[in-house]
Amino acid sequence: MKLFKIFSGLLVLVLILIFLLKNTEEVAIDLIFARYDQVKIAFVMVGALAVGILTGYGVAVISIISAKSEIRSFKLKNRRLSDELNDLRNVAIDEGIYDNDVGED
């Protein structure tokens, strides 16, 4: 299965490279802070892909960190509740049973 994933990833990479090599036209790019007159469209696509990947990676990392933090807090709460339950189970049941019987004799 791992070899299949590697092969499919390489196949996708080769297809992307072929697609990018066919797009050799030059375009003008006007960003808010800069203007570029002659940029190959392949570089624009690679740049947009890189920005998208980095943004997705950042969002995924933040999501994973928050989920792990939530899991850690739930485990701590579960441990506290388990300790409390064990303490309640271990309380002596007959502490007050025989106190009332002493005065009846």
Split into its structural domains, the chain has a count of 1
To the nearest 10°, report the CA torsion of 81, 83, 88, 90. Answer: 160
User: Is residue 26, in this structure, part of any structural domain at all?
Assistant: yes
User: Is residue 12, in this structure, part of any structural domain at all?
Assistant: no
User: Is residue 6, in this structure, part of any structural domain at all?
Assistant: no
Each residue of 20-76: pLDDT tens digit?
A: 888 888 888 888 888 988 888 888 888 888 999 999 999 999 999 999 999 999 999
User: Is residue 71, in this structure, part of any structural domain at all?
Assistant: yes
Distance CA 93, CA 90 (A): 8
Instruction: Using pLDDT thresholds of 50, 70 and 90, give the confidence band for residue 100.
Output: low
User: Is residue 98, in this structure, part of any structural domain at all?
Assistant: no
Range of the domain at 75: 19-90
User: Is residue 58, in this structure, part of any structural domain at all?
Assistant: yes
pLDDT at 66: 96
Residue 83 or residue 100, greater confidence: 83
Please give the average per-residue pLDDT across 70-92, as a whole number: 90
